[in-house]
Every structure is written in C-alpha cells, then in structure tokens.
Structure 1
C-alpha cells in the first residue's frame, strides 16, 4: 500500500496543527462529542493513521471495529468510486437498485443458520437494534425485552434504555423506554457463577416468559469490557428462548465481520440467533447496518412498517459488497485468529509480570486487559487512563471500555502487518513497566 507501514513521531502528540484544529472543534462542536485522541487524521490504511502534523500512529482501534479491512481497502475504493459516478441516492423505498438486494442476499447466506432469511438495511448499529426489537414485538405480540448487565446497544432513546452503563451514555437523558428488563451476564472474572440460573429465575418470576418478546445479547460484551461469557451460557440462553417462543437477538455490531476469528461471534459455540444485528465492520467505514432474521419473523411486519430514507445507501452497499469480497479473498477470518495467537500470549506474559493486570480476555482480534488494584479485583480506572495517555504519547492508539472504566481494548485492523502489531505490544509493555 502507498501509506508507509511504520510508526513515526515528528512532533509531540497532539502536534501543533492538531491543537489548532482542536481549538476550532471546541468552538464549533458541542462538548458532548468527546475525542479519545485529538490528532486530526489526513490519511489512514493498513495498520496506521497519519495525522496533519505528519505523525504516523499504530492503530489498535480500527475506528471502534469499523475498518476491519483497512481504512482505504482497494476493493472498497474501486466500488464506491464507480458508484459515485453513477448515482449517490434514490431511496430504496422509492426506486430500488440491485446492490441493496445483493447485500441482503449475502447477509442471508453468510449469517449463522441455513434457514430461510430476510435482511433489510439501515444506517447504524443503534437503528439495527431498535428495528430488531420492533420486529420481535410485532411478530410475538409481546412487549417485554430482556437485556444483560454490562451490555451496550446504542445512544437512541430505546437503545440507551437497553444499555447498562449510566455514564456517559444515559446520565440525565431519561425518562427511558418502558418494558426493558436487565438480568445478570456470565462474567468469568467477576461473576456471578450462576448467571444463567439467576437470569432465568428473574425472567420467570419478575416478567413471565410468556410476556417476553425478545432477549437481546452481545455474544461478547463490547463497551462493557470485552466480556466473553463462560462457555455454554449463550447456547443455554438461546435454548431457553426457543423453548418459550422468545425471539433471540444477537447484537453483533462490534463482533461481526471476522473480528473475533469467526465471521460472526455466535459461530464459536454454534448459536443460531433468530435475528442478528450487524453494523460497524460491514462497510469499511461507510454508514450501514442490517437486521437479518428468520423469514417467518421478518415477513410478519406490514408493508411500510420498516425502512428509512438513507437505509442501504448505494455507496454503502457497494462498500459492503467490497468488504465481503475482501474478507474472503484475504482470508481475514484466519487473519483475526492469527492476531489473537500473537496478542494473547504476549498479554498473558505481561499479566504474570504486572499484577495491575487482573484479567486478559477476548477472541481473535477483539482482545482486552482489565486493570485492578494489585492483589485485588478492585477496578483501577486511574491506572487505565494513565496507561492510555502513555501509549498515545508513544504513537500507539488504544481505546478504553468497561463498566468500571478500567479496561483497555484492542481492535487492530485485520490487515495490520505483524511487525506493527509486535511494536504496539512492545509500547504497551514498556508503558506498563513504567506505570
């Protein structure tokens, strides 16, 4: 690729031109729009982002699991460029176009399960989740929706309600949507050990399984801290839903499209959701999301009950088709597994050296460390922020997560060269030593 795959620091981070732009941002954009690292990017690709000051940073964030295939994947550039020249919009609900149908056909083919499926397209993960809930309620005639501790599902009114964490997502934005109930998640590092039993007991006693339209879960909790539920938890929840006529919805917004070493995270334990929500990695950075589900559920909604002006924009559809081509052509599922094979042993070795690391977890290229007060499980958010600051200063872009603000999450682009992956881990290790 044309962008050199190297870390290069020519100024302090952020540099002077980025600081100038940050001042402009603060004058033009509300303070509610936060920024993890205020360097302003001019080019990005492979495993690096290059800022306006000429610094090249190693990217362990991938736009929060969006640019799985890279920031300017050749197939994406080619398809989108051609589409721009043909037309940019008609609205699929007014005059449709083939690429929308092609994306839906691909999703029906590739998502878990060999049953008859339907898909439709929207703009964001939150929209996908909200529409999945709409569909489940319509199909079942029920109202209650069950979600899990540590879950994150979006920033709209309903998806804020579905999300577990108050600050910054829900604080002072209420009142929230009704008929949403939260149950325990199997969190191996923190418990409870009987999360499934507690969840089912709460559903049966506090709601009544016969009143539940949908159970919604992330196969790996994302913003909640990259929590990988203990094995067996997800299949048991799916079985419970099936036995009680409840729609099982998998929120694969962050886990989808090869990120976890499977095309979709549900595949790790053979779980087949009734509805699956996808976004983020679906279109290489263009706004697109989808709901895919069993035909008998999806087709129950009346004509006009689903849709949106920009949903399935033709540019985003072409990008999605290019992403799926790239994942297959470059075997990025295997590449995600390889990233995990490199990262997990290195991080486990760091854990044995640095007692501030309480837990190392994840699958594929969706990996995290949880920081604690040494010798305890007390969350250490202050150390997490200090570690992030140290990494950023050395040209390594990392992100935080976690209900307690004490998790460092790693989401490198699946096309990142291994030498950058190793260099980034070295920067992290050095920062931990200094911490």
Structure 2
C-alpha cells in the first residue's frame, strides 16, 4: 500500500500537476525514489522488482554503473551544441554499424520515439516518386502521440478527425482475429488483405509497422504473415518502415525484431532501450534514402536535442554493455524461462485468456471468461495493484499487462517475479469474484 510519505508527496504535487498520467501510474500511486538493476525503491523504503523496466526502456536495469559513469563524465564536459559533431558521435556511429544489418548503414539521431517516427515520415514523403502519395499502417498500431504519428493510425482526439493519407491494414492478432478466422486454416487472410490494399497499390509509398505490436498488447505475428507482406512490398516498390522503438536493441532476443521475422526494412526507428531509458532515438536506413538530396536538405535531421552528447554517451555505454556481455542472447534465453513460467499461469487461471511474447517482452490478456473472451480491465487493474503491494511492478494498459524485465535480471529474480505475479493473480481473481 502507498505509505504516508508517498501519500503526502502525491497530495502536494496534485495541487499543480495536470491529470492524465498512464493507467499504471494512476492505479499504483507510488513515488519511486531510487533504482538499481531490476529493483526500485519507493519513498517509504519499499522495494519492487521492476518487470516493466521503467517504461519498457531499462535494458540494463536502473542506474547501470557504466551508463551512470558515461553520463556523469559527459555532463562535466559538454551538454548541447545543437547538432554539431562531438568526440563521441563517430564512435557511436561505428558501433551501430556493427550491431545493425549491413544495409542499414546510415543514421540520424533524435531524442524520442515520436520524434524519430516523424523524421522517418519526412524521409518517406521527400523521396516518394510522383503518384505515391499514400502511406500504409496497421490497425491498432502505436507510433507516438504527435500529429503525424496519430494520423498514421487514424487516432482522432475530441471532435477533430485527421486521418491524413494513410491506409490501414489488418494486424495479425490471432487471439482476436478481426476477420473471425482461425490460424492456420485462415490461410493468413489478414496478410492477403494488407498485400491487396497496401503492398500492391501503385499509390502507396511505404508501410509503417511495428514488427511486434507493443501497445496493442504484444501482438506477435504468426509464421508467414510478414514474409507475404514484405515480399509484395519489395516487388512493388513500397518501402518497409519498421517502428522498433520498443523492440529494437535486443529486447526480443535479436537486435531487431525484424531479424527474427525475416523482414529487411528500408528504414528503422529505435529509441526506448537504446540508451537505457535516457532520451535518445535513432533513425537507421539505407544510404540511398537518408543521403538522397530530397531527404537530406539543410536541417532535415536536426532538432534542439538531436545529437546531444549526453544522449550519445548514454547510448554508447548501453550498447557496448549489451554487445560485450551478450545480453541480446541472454534476453532470448531468459525469455524462454519467463515463457515457461507464464504458460503455467495460463494453464492455472481461466481468467488469463492469452499469454504471448518473444524474448523479454510478454503480454497477458485478462478476460471475464475464455469462451466469450470479453476483456476484463477491472481484473487487470486489480492484478497490477495487487502485484505492486506484493513488491512487483508491471505495465498496465486496459485489460492487458505487459512484462519487460531488464536483460540483466538474474534467474532467481525472474522466478521471484513470476511467483509474485501468480500470487497477485490469485488474490485479484478472488477479489473480483467476491
């Protein structure tokens, strides 16, 4: 439960802080004061295993000493000179060239996921041939809260509709198939429709997509979905623009989720875990796109905080630890263990309708019953808050809880987190049923 020191601080800030926090923050009502590795400590001294890794960002856990040292050293030297070259930038560029697929050899640096998505859209729009004036995206995708990112997925606010020029295709949600079909007898009808309405259209310039949809609940595509779509896009000249803001940097057990799924993207957006939660983002792409005269006009890849040396230092330190310690492979191995623990929970609790994931990224979908599959956000919220009271932090969104522990978590902590989650589900189900 929230202690008296936290409650006093929350009441104090509520006098001036605008509402509109995330569901997990609003439900949890905690004031986190310190973090180290997979652990968080609140203002009253309570400890939590952080299975949300910040906001699915802390690849190395909280306050990793090498990232702290790199940031501290850089903060003593230089913070911001717009997008001018600084000594660490060339080193980071070389490191990215080593970690990313060879065809993605040109990079631009930004601050946030939404900012890098907007930059990718500008590249697509600048380089698109005449007549290719539309962009494809997938239903229920999430690419940020800026106007361009919202327009991609037809996310309207209030009474204002700004659908823009995007065409929506079906994401491969087998648990909740929008077409009412069942895999594999469906013969991937969703992919066939994306091909028909996006990949094979002569007026579409690009398909912007999450290889694994994150905010939608960790929607992992079935075999064959991306192979069919990517092949058609390549054959028809439609660019593949991968939003790996969440998945990039090793979380899925490969540096890019696209590598696991056999996709060869033309542009990739990365952020979140690339600098262990410090604001930093990368647009990676084919040289012929990012270096084209149309896309590389003066100021195209510049912004107030783009290429700032603090972000570069944090990213360089983070990625070197991931590379040196084999943490991408570790994420894959730990992900298998976590998957086994979650499968046991799925077998035990009927109200846990679906468990899906890849690497250290999982989604748990709570329902009123398995037959109707009616979403149960009240139960998910109860699981989240009960888990917090037990000492486990998760990521709540509607009727889905996402798990994304840091790559550095040890097996004992992973097992303890799974045990606490089981206890939380048990108590929450009893609470909701009662």
Q: 2:217 aligns to what? A: 225
In the alignment, does 2:16 pair up with 1:28?
Answer: yes
Question: 1:284 aligned to 2:276?
Answer: yes
Determine the C-alpha separation between the residues in 1 that align with 2:104 and 2:81: 28
User: Could you say which residue in structure 2 is the equivalent of 1:298?
Assistant: 290
Check whether the contact 2:109–2:301 (CA below 8 A) recurs between aligned residues.
Answer: no
**Residues 1:253 and 2:245 are matched in the alignment:** yes
Q: Does residue 50 of the first structure (1) align with residue 46 of the second (2)? A: no
Change (3 A) 1:324 1:116: closer
Matched, 1:88 2:84: no
Q: Work out whether residues 51 and 393 of structure 2, in 8 Å CA contact, stay in contact via their aligned partners in 1.
A: yes
* Structure 1 position 275 matched with structure 2 position 272: no
CA shift digits 1:249-273 (9 cap, x unpaired): 0100000111111111111123211
Q: In structure 2, how many angstroms separate the alpha carbons of the residues matched to 1:24 and 1:252?
A: 37
Cα gap change, 1:218 to 1:287, in 2 (>3 Å): same
Query: Which residue of 2 is the match for residue 10 of structure 1?
Result: none
Task: Give the aligned partner of residue 375 of structure 1.
Answer: 370
Structure 1: how far apart are the matches of 2:291 and 2:227?
A: 25
1:75 counterpart = 2:66: yes
Query: In the alignment, which residue of structure 2 is the partner of 1:176?
Result: 162
Q: Which residue of 1 aligns with 2:432?
A: none
Q: What SS does the corresponding residue of 1:98 show, helix, strand or coil?
A: coil
Q: Is the 1:158–1:177 contact (alpha carbons within 8 Å) kept by the matching residues of 2?
A: no
Shift of 1:332: 0.9
Output the CA distance in 2 between the equivalents of 1:174 and 1:157.
12
Distance 2:29 2:104 in 1: 46
Deviation at 1:163, TM superposition (A): 3.9
Structure 1 residues 138-217: aligned runs within 5 Å: 138-141=126-129, 142-163=132-153, 170-172=156-158, 174-176=160-162, 178-191=164-177, 192=179, 193=186, 194-203=189-198, 209-217=201-209
Counterpart in 2 of 1:356? 351
- Residue 116 of structure 1: how far off its partner (Å): 6.0
Aligned residue pair count:
410
1:262 maps onto 2:254 in alignment: yes
Give the aligned partner of residue 243 of structure 1: 235
In structure 2, what is the Cα distance between the partners aligned to 1:432 and 1:51? 23
Q: Is 1:118 the counterpart of 2:106 in the alignment? A: yes
Q: Which runs of 5+ in 1 are unaligned?
A: 1-12
User: In 2, are the aligned partners of 1:125 and 1:279 still within 8 Å (CA)?
Assistant: yes
The CA deviation at 1:173 is: 7.3
SS at match of 2:240: strand
* Per-residue deviation, residues 363-408 of structure 1 (Å, max 9, x unmatched): 110012111222322222221112112111211111123xxx2211
Structure 2: where are the runs of 5+ without partners? 180-185, 430-434
TM superposition shift of 1:177? 5.2
- CA–CA separation in structure 2 for the residues paired with 1:110 and 1:62: 22
Deviations 1:209-228 (A, max 9, x none): 22112101111100001000
Distance 1:116 1:201 in 2: 27
Q: Secondary structure at the match of 1:119?
A: strand
Pick one of 51, 56, 59 that aligns with 1:60. Answer: 51
Distance 1:129 1:335, change over 3 A: same
Match of 2:417 among 411, 424, 434: 424
Distance 1:352 1:33 in 2: 33
8 A Cα contact 1:133 1:214, kept in partner: no
CA deviations 1:131-150 (Å, max 9, x no partner) are 11110111113321111012
Aligned to 2:400: 407
Q: 1:215 aligns to what SS in structure 2? A: strand
- The 2-side partners of 1:177 and 1:124 are apart by 23
Contact 1:154 1:163 in 2 (8 A): no
Cα RMSD of the aligned pairs, angstroms, is 1.7
Q: 1: CA distance between counterparts of 2:115 and 2:94?
A: 20
Cα deviation per residue 1:7-47 (whole Å; 9 max; x = unaligned)? xxxxxx22111111211221222112342532222210211
User: Are the equivalent residues in 2 in contact too, given 1:380–1:406 (CA < 8 A)?
Assistant: yes
Given that 1:40 and 1:51 are in contact with CA atoms closer than 8 Å, whether structure 2 keeps it comes out as: yes
Secondary structure of the corresponding residue to residue 384 of structure 1: helix
Three-state SS of the structure 2 residue aligned to 1:261 is coil
